[in-house]
Chains A and B, each alone.
Chain A
Amino acid sequence: MENAGYLFAAFTIIWAVVFGYVLLLLNRQRRQQQEINSLKEASKEKQAEQ
């Protein structure tokens, strides 16, 4: 099959970039959620002290 390598490369790159981007977003979202939770906790503690 002539040029099958190019076809394989194109599809591999598409899926690698899409999955890589999705993983990046999920990772960033997890860190954001952790930060939101810790900021809310800190705010509750501050209100309790006051």
Chain B
Amino acid sequence: MQERHTFRIGLLGLSFVLMVAALYLVFIYVPPEKEMGIVQRIFYFHVPLAWVAFLAFFIVFLGSVLYLWKRESKWDVLANSSAEVGIVFTTLFLITGSIWAKPIWGVWWSWDSRLTAALILWLIYIAYIIVRSFATEESRGARFAAVVGIVGFIDVPITALAITLWRTQHPGPTIFQGSLSPPMMLTLLVCLVAFTILYCLLLIQRVSMKNDEIEISRLKELGS
């Protein structure tokens, strides 16, 4: 128990240091982008938020598969917790994307393939959380949610690849094409690691709380 607590404190400290480093790199170190100017710096948080959201939904997919296969509640707890954190990250990348779009495209939103697929992704995982409440018993709700978590994951590669599969207003694939200068790539990587550590922290916290909810139900059953 003490080791787990020490690990969490360590991870929190690391997350804080990385976030401070990320802020320094984004606002002080990295040079401004020539075409979009200062507002382009949203990129350094917008992209990691999206990538970490995809990671979160991959964990939901894995947890859902393992739950349907093994029927052990720990996998459902993992999937459920990751879905909730994933929804927070998806909400943030949708909002930051919209804020970035306004000065560049002149609109807050457009129904292009990447944005639409991302919005559908958000709705799928909202549905993942809600679908549990429609079941009469918890294990049934977990099974419904697991199916949504597996099928819904199809939208993650669709969202990621939309900019290569279809013509879109969204900027094309520049990161892996070597279009970023070394300072920009370093800034992006530090931000990505910072947000990944944050996701891990939030996931651990959420899993711990779900386990507490299970403990509460068990104690209530013992008491009755």
Interface of A with B (CB < 8 Å)?
1-4, 6-7, 9-11, 13-14, 17-18, 21-22, 25, 28-29, 32-33, 35-36, 39-40, 42-43, 46
Contacts and interface: CB of A to CB of B under 8 A. Distances in A.
A47 to B, nearest CB: 10
A25 B220 CA distance: 22
B212 A32 contact: yes
Contacts of B102: 6
Interface of B: 37-39, 41-42, 45-46, 49, 88, 91-92, 95-96, 99-100, 102-103, 198, 202, 205-206, 208-209, 212-213, 215-216, 219-220, 222-223
A37 to B, nearest CB: 10
A21 B88 contact: yes
Given A7-B39, A10-B95, 7 more contacts: A2-B37, A3-B38, A6-B103, A10-B45, A21-B202, A25-B206, A39-B216
B42 A7 contact: yes
Given A6-B102, A36-B215, A17 B91 contact: yes
Contacts of B39: 2-4, 6-7
Contact of B92 (A9, A13, A25, A43): A13
Which 6 A/B pairs are nearest by Cβ-Cβ distance?
Answer: A3-B39, A39-B219, A3-B103, A32-B212, A10-B99, A10-B42
B216 A35 contact: yes
Given A3-B37, A21-B88, A40 B219 contact: yes
Contact of B212 (A7, A14, A18, A33): A33
A1 to B, nearest CB: 5
Interface of B: prevailing SS: helix
B88 A17 contact: yes
A17 B94 CA distance: 13
Contacts of A7: 38-39, 41-42
Nearest to B91: A17
Given A11-B45, A13-B92, A21-B88, A29 B205 contact: yes
A13 to B, nearest CB: 6
Contact of A36 (B41, B46, B99, B219): B219
Contacts of B45: 10-11, 14
